Amino acid sequence: MQSEPFATDLLAAMGGIAHAEMLMANQQWAASECEALAERVAAFAAETLARDIQWAAKWARELAREDVAIAVETGQMPHKEVWPLLRELEQLVRQSTNPTGGAHD
């Protein structure tokens, strides 16, 4: 009779251990997934930054502003700050090639 409660306690303890191991495995899996996701997000952000810098430099060169292109490529001018400048330069170029401001006769 005494072995029966002991066996029940032992089975309960083993079940508790198995449950704890499962929870730990889930936590390790979740941590691994979070790390993998963070790496994918960082890679995407780096690719986006590189693409934005390339486009800003290309646009600056199309507007004959090699100085701006170099500044963006070397990090002297943040690429997000260059977009308004390039838009303004593009408008100036358009105005200088079309002094009537686009009015039709």
Domains of the chain by residue range: 3-97
pLDDT at residue 42, rounded to an integer: 93
Written as one string, the DSSP assignment of 62-104 is: HTT-HHHHHHHHTTSS-HHHHHHHHHHHHHHHHHHH-TTTT--
Q: What tens digit of pLDDT does each residue of 10-44 get? A: 777 888 888 778 777 777 878 888 899 999 999 99
102 vs 93 pLDDT, higher one: 93
